[in-house]
Structure 1
Amino acid sequence: MTRQTTAKAGIMDPITTEIIQSSLTAITDEMFATMRKTAMSSIIYEVLDFGVAMMDAAGNLASSGSGIPGFIGMLEPGVRSVIKKFDPATHVFPGDIFMTNIPHHGGVSHLNDVVLVLPVFVEGQLIAWLANKAHWVDIGGSFPGSISADAVDVYQEGLQLPCIKVIESGKTNQSVLDILAMNSRMPDITIGDFWAGIASMRAGERRLLSLVEKYGFNAVMFAITDYIATGEAMSLKALKALPKGTFKAADITDGGTPICVSISISDTEFLVDLRGNPPQSKDAFNASFDATFVGVQMIYKSIAGSQSVANAGTFRPLKLLVDDDSMFAAQYPAAMSVYYETSIMLFDLMWKALAPILPEFLPAGHYASICGTFMGGPHPETGKNHSIVEPQIGGWGACYDRDGLNALYTGYHGDTFNVPVEIAEQRNGIMIDKLSLNEEPGGEGEFIGGKGINLHYRILHDDWWITMAYVRSKNGPWGLNGGLEGSTNYVSILRKDGSEQQYSSCTAIPLKKDDVVKVATANGGGYGAPKDRPVAKVLEDIKNGYITKERAFEIYGVKNELQ
């Protein structure tokens, strides 16, 4: 490959530049598709609990692919953690691949979310970085699935990978893979997902090098720089259209702890102030600074700018103030395995602060919990140790002009899907007794909140276990303009003997054959006073099973006339 350049006018040609920029997006899309098609675990190939991205040579986000936004946004600091440890001028070479998973050191959410990074070279010059981040089902540690809200430090949560070279100049460090396999309760799945991540990045590398060969080195480098500058210009334009001022919100965690946020918007800056929030906790409800900043990015992206461009320039107007050692910027060795519940609480809190001034963008509160459900044990067909990871879908809040949406993932999830019943039963060795909309009351108003779900897993083998941690288990999603609060998230376990116990958080609780794990996710908050909902709509709600006759009379004063 030669470093042939286009003519000087060609470098600046906007058509060519836009074609190259569209190709950058296509590259990350292909990386995403490759990971999805080659991964071993259903949390990746069905739920799509991963993200991919391309950074420029300095580590700035250049192109983001599909996937969970909270993963994509963290790949930029993930790459920068590699640059910080390994000087690109002297310690990074073609064929190298890096691995990291320690959240306190940058670009990682918790130990399960393993980041892989590949540098791309042209004629010995570093031109870009490709990165992949995916949730691995088990990374060792004290608890099955490497997840526990009760963990007191990161040492209990699994194997730590301190930004290492797992492949050096094309040669795999087999010792690292052996350590990974020996520390995982599901070694075949773990190693399979590792190689899927490698395949994803190598697919992106091939496409990027082909792009350089086709259009020339300088043209591609110009297009990347211009793309980031375009992202910043679009972001500043969108920022100017937002309401100006300082907007605040407060809430109470399920544990009774107050949390708060202040958001200040000017023509040039979107400032989120989290100072004064609680210190990091002695359990796993902690988030890193990078995980918190990604939450800021996501709420900003939902209200400002084109949805088609997301790169380093897009987020340059963002500023975050947070106390060190707080729950939103926990320090090593704080446990973080359920960081996602802390992050979704913050995401929802920022949403709550902005929803009253941006009703066209933000509805009332949604179920606001990842509802990560971890179960495992001997597979009933093979007897091998098996575990599953499933975030759950729930109800979204009502808008100023329509009812909320039923059974969707949170605003934090992005392009994520629930595992189909058929896949869950075929691959995971469980039976789905029920999957329906949540019939509990909550979320009434002029416009009603969307429904959560009831999902019942029947266990088919002894010696299984469940771990989970759901927030919004005490206080339901908030309503707007007089709309009522939604219902709550929880799990109950119905034992074979008929006894039943409800949980908002548990770690490795034993399950036996024919026990039923009953997941309930919240209905979203309502919008507007219930008295303003037309009688015809209330009667339709009764007909559709969204509300009982008794509840309709209690809240709306309407009796069912459909006999």
Structure 2
Amino acid sequence: MTRLDTVTLNIIHNALTNIASEMALVMLKTSYSTIFNEGLDFCTVLLDRNGDLIAEKNYAPAMMGAVPHTVKWAIDEKGLGALHPGDVLIHNDCYRGGCHLPEHMMMRPLFVDDELLGFAGNIGHVAEIGGKAPGSFSSDATDIYQEGLRLPPTKIMNRGEHVEDVWRIILSNHRTPRNTWGDFHAMIGSLETAERRMRELSQRYDLETLSAATAQLHDYSERRMRAEIAELPDGEYFAEMWVEDDGVLPDPFYIRVTVTVDGDRIIADFTGTDPQVRGPMNGTVVVVAAAVYNVVFSMVDPHSLIPRNSGCYRPIDFIAPAGSVVNVVHPGPCVGGNTDLQPKLIDLLIRALGQARPERAAAAAGGSSSNFLFGGVHPRTGEYYTNYHFDGQGTGGTMSKDGNNGEITRHSNCRNTPVEVFEERYPFHTVEYRLAPGSGGAGTHRGGLATTRTLEVIADEITLSCLFDRAKLAAWGMEGGHDGGKSELLIQKAGTEGFLDFTQAFGTVSPTKFTNVRLQRGDLVRYVTPGGGGWGDPLLREPDAVVEDVANGWLSAEAAAGDYGVIVTSQGPGLATLDAAATDAKRAELRATRTAAVSSAAPKPPVTADPTRAIPPHSPGRWVEIVRAWHDSSLTQCDLCGRLIPRQGWQVESEGRHLMFCNDACEGLYWSYWYPRYGGEEIQASAAD
């Protein structure tokens, strides 16, 4: 095969990237749905004849990580011989390489003189695909059939003509067929743009040259990625977490990963993770793939200097056991796995790989897309509408900076919808929309702030479905940083005073995960998304940064004093002054309190361990402890002396009485709660009187 010079290779690479960008622009400009033309919840790609990625417009990293698997699955199932010029395949099957049902992939074979050059593709979140809930997001779904219309790889265009029966079936099963029709044609239009531009490119460079260029680009990216991975210290890096519930049952479920760095290769092994859950928080295999790929990319190449193509994926592998919560099998539901499990998998993987590259680690982000879906008959048009809405959360603090405020989950990279557009299209009045004060976890570098929004219903009726996570288990802090704020979802019914959660108001099983609640004119809905965890000791935060947060209305003066030991004098909105002397005294007082805990509380044996309460049984496994900082897989903190203690060796393999001591310097009993993951009782170790 021809070996291209560097200049020619760069010209072809930039041409391919620009084609992918133009494809995305076509979708942005011609789509009907808000989630496309405002949220940018889609991406566009070019692939070679084998289905390997060669160029992208990466609006949504979660989708990009899935592309190599999704496309190849479709090619393998249909076969290259069944594809002709003008064909378009559509595919959303989550058991055949899809992220979740709303994510639809379209792909078109690209022919030049009857020879297959490659494929153009796009993936986008279609806002309404049927199922039990408007917006096709059923928080209480217990099987895939409740989530919407499932399409295996299917021709929607055949030799340039619409396959009318397929179109009729799809549009008959969607609540908003006009929007689906418009978005599908936007997707097809972007593929036609790619075909036209690739033909133009083939007039400048023959097919042999283009094929050589894509092969060299793959090899170059692989070489660069392997070199970056080789800079990481070899080893096994372990992390674990609990997710609060699945939307159907109130029990938490457990996920663990061991990331192995071996020379220039990485493998992430999720063996030991809980079985798939009953509700829709299961992840598909490509959800895990996307999380693994994107975390490795961000940890070893944070500035995206390596061209993103399939060559980048070659040194990266993962193990996701089939039938586990990270690799759902039929008929398990999975709509929340892509939106609310994947961001937590990203946090978990960052925590694992952060042990190898701590300067690039981060505390946990909010980790929930705060999915807010609604539908009804619009009072102005008389037509049925639906919308899938999300708002920004806080990301985690890092060794060098605060977390980002109000950022849509980093695996989606989507934009928020401007208030003006939202109110023009949907019968809600926005009463309040702002950053949520105090929602970022305290730390040397605090967590990013969440957002809060209050909406008034201005239609006779709106059907609402929500899937918010992190309402029970907040985003964890690191290195002494505090947890982020939890999510919250409240309603004040028309004609009443005060807000209630949705369980209080409607009897939902979960206050933040529910389906098909009917809102009435005049109801107020208020929600807060989750904040990011803090990084580092809050007493080491620069006082001026605390003062700035108080001045901005992002932190109360009381929290400044209690969490940071910073005394702020406020002269009104936007005005705050540091009291330096009082701050020094307050921080000294807080540090003295920590020190006093070491000397004043050192209980010695005898000790006892008594059962405190029963918990629901799970399937066979082992016990894992839960402590005050139980979410940190490697360290926890003694409540008596404040010392950080490694958790290794604290797991027990049998039921019974188990005690733990801090260390020789403290000799105080560490207060711990032992959570038997699979059966038995929770054990609290406590000092005897």
TM-score per shorter chain, which class?
Answer: over 0.9
Match of 1:132 in 2: 122
Q: Does 1:297 align with 2:293?
A: yes
Q: C-alpha offsets along residues 165-212 of structure 1, whole Å, 9 cap, x if unaligned? A: 111111211111111111111010011111110001110111111111
Asked if the contact 1:359–1:399 (Cα under 8 Å) also holds between the matched residues in 2, the reply is no
Are positions 1:281 and 2:277 aligned together? yes
Partner of 2:5: 13
TM-score calculated relative to the size of structure 1: 0.95
SS in 2 for 1:259: strand
Is 1:180–1:191's contact at 8 Å kept on the other side of the alignment? no
Residue number in structure 2 paired with 1:3: none
Counterpart for residue 392 of structure 1: 391
Question: For 1:203, what is the secondary structure of its paired residue?
Answer: helix
Any gaps of 5 or more consecutive residues in structure 1?
Answer: 1-7
Establish whether residue 42 from structure 1 lines up as the match of residue 34 from structure 2: yes
Partner of residue 307, structure 1: 304
Question: Corresponding residue for 1:99?
Answer: 90
In structure 2, C-alpha distance between the alignment counterparts of 1:42 and 1:482, rounded to whole Å: 41
Determine the C-alpha separation between the residues in 2 that align with 1:326 and 1:353. 20
Aligned residue in 1 for 2:492: 494
* Cα deviation 1:332-377 (Å, max 9, x = unaligned): 1211121221222211211222334434323222111111211121
TM-score by length of 2: 0.78
Equivalent pairs, count: 552
Task: Measure the CA separation in 2 of the matches of 1:420 and 1:494.
Answer: 24
* Residue of 429, 448, 458 corresponding to 1:431: 429
Where does structure 2 lack aligned partners over 5 or more consecutive residues?
A: 246-251, 502-510, 572-689
- The amino acid of 1:45's aligned partner reads N
Pick the structure with greater CA Rg: 2
Matched, 1:244 2:234: yes
Alpha-carbon distance between aligned partners in 2 of 1:536 and 1:345, rounded to the nearest angstrom: 32
Q: Distance in 1 between matches of 2:518 and 2:497?
A: 16
Number of the residue aligned with 2:524: 516
Q: Does the 8 Å contact 1:438/1:522 carry over to 2?
A: no
Cα drift, residue 123 of structure 1 = 1.6
Q: Does residue 173 of structure 1 match 2:163? A: yes
What code does the residue aligned with 1:445 have?
A: G
Q: 1:532 to 1:216 in 2, by over 3 A?
A: same
Question: Paired residue for 1:379?
Answer: 378
Give 1:399 shift.
2.0
Which residue in the other structure is 1:338 paired with?
Answer: 336
Q: Structure 1 residues 484, 337: CA separation in 2 closer, same or farther (over 3 Å shift)?
A: same
CA distance in 1, matches of 2:512, 2:350: 23
The Cα shift of 1:562 comes to 4.1
Counterparts of 2:60 and 2:282, CA distance in 1: 19
1:271 matched to which residue of 2?
Answer: 267
Determine the C-alpha separation between the residues in 2 that align with 1:177 and 1:167.
9
Structure 2 CA distance for partners of 1:92 and 1:62, relative to 1, 3 Å? same
Quote the residue 2:635 is aligned against: none
Q: Distance in 2 between matches of 1:442 and 1:85?
A: 47
Say if 2:368 and 2:530, in contact at 8 Å, map to a contact too.
no
Contact 2:282 2:328 in 1 (8 A): yes
Tell me by how many angstroms 1:391 deviates. Answer: 2.1
CA–CA distance in 1 between the matches of 2:358 and 2:521?
A: 48
Deviation, 1:441, is 5.0
Find 2:475's aligned residue among 474, 477, 497: 477
Aligned residue in 2 for 1:260: 256
Q: Which one is further off, 240-249 or 130-139?
A: 240-249
Match of 1:228, SS? helix
Q: What is the CA distance between 1:237 and its match in structure 2?
A: 1.0
How far apart, CA to CA, are the structure 1 residues paired with 2:276 and 2:195?
39
CA 1:562–1:342 in structure 2 vs 1: closer, same or farther (change >3 Å)?
Answer: closer
Partners of 1:534 and 1:59 in 2: how far apart?
Answer: 51
Q: Does the CA-based 8 Å contact 2:288-2:320 persist in structure 1?
A: no
Q: SS of 2:568's equivalent?
A: coil
Does structure 2 conserve the Cα–Cα contact (< 8 Å) formed by 1:539 and 1:562?
A: no
CA shift at 1:274, angstroms?
Answer: 0.2
Q: Which has the higher contact order (CA 8 A, sep 6+)?
A: 1
Per the TM alignment, residue 329 of structure 1 is displaced from its structure 2 partner at its CA by 0.7
Q: Are 2:452 and 1:454 aligned? A: yes
- The one-letter amino acid of 1:155's match is Y
CA separation in 1, counterparts of 2:283 and 2:254?
16
* Contact 2:17-2:56 within 8 A present in 1 as well: yes
Residue 99 of structure 1, CA deviation: 0.9
| Change over 3 Å in CA distance of 1:425–1:220 after alignment to 2 | same
Letter in 1 for 2:33: S
1:33 maps to amino acid: L
Alpha-carbon distance, 1:534 to partner: 3.5
Letter matched to residue 539 of structure 2: K
Match of 1:194, SS? Answer: helix
Are positions 1:530 and 2:524 aligned together?
Answer: no
- 2:353 alignment counterpart: 354
Provide the C-alpha distance between the structure 2 equivalents of 1:337 and 1:403, rounded to a whole number of angstroms: 31
Partner of 1:146, secondary structure, is coil
144-153 or 22-31, larger mean C-alpha shift: 144-153
Which one-letter code corresponds to 2:157 in the other structure? Answer: I
- Conservation of the 8 A alpha-carbon contact between 2:372 and 2:465: yes
